Amino acid sequence: MGRLSLRLGGDHYQLNTHTVVRPNHLLSRQPGWQTLGRDGTIKSWQVYCKGADGCAYIYRKPGAKITVKEILDTLRPMMPMIETVTQLKKRLTSGRTLTASS
């Protein structure tokens, strides 16, 4: 019989997902910030959030009359749901695990 070797690899590490946030949903509620198509996709934008491997980048078009403060104020309702890198490190080093109520 031959030998079986199973190897798993990845290019990044992810924790279990416990909360989903949709920053573009909040941004699209502001008049003129985003235009959505009938299917809900973004057709044009002045400010946009792009997710990438557990991170998110917020883009503001050059010349957009939207301040950083306005963007942060709009996104503030979801801030309690976001775990910062510092909070994550503390939780992991304390041995606390995620639960349904975390």
- Inter-residue contact 21 to 78 (CB < 8 Å): yes
* Residue 64: predicted pLDDT: 93
Residue 18: CA count within 13 A, CB half-sphere: 12
Compute mean pLDDT per 10 residues along the chain, 102 residues long, and list them.
57 64 91 95 94 82 92 86 69 62 45
**Residues contacting residue 53 through CB under 8 Å, at least 6 positions apart:** 12, 14
pTM of the model: 0.65
Query: For 74, which DSSP code?
Result: H
* Residue 24: predicted pLDDT: 93
* Residue 100: predicted pLDDT: 46
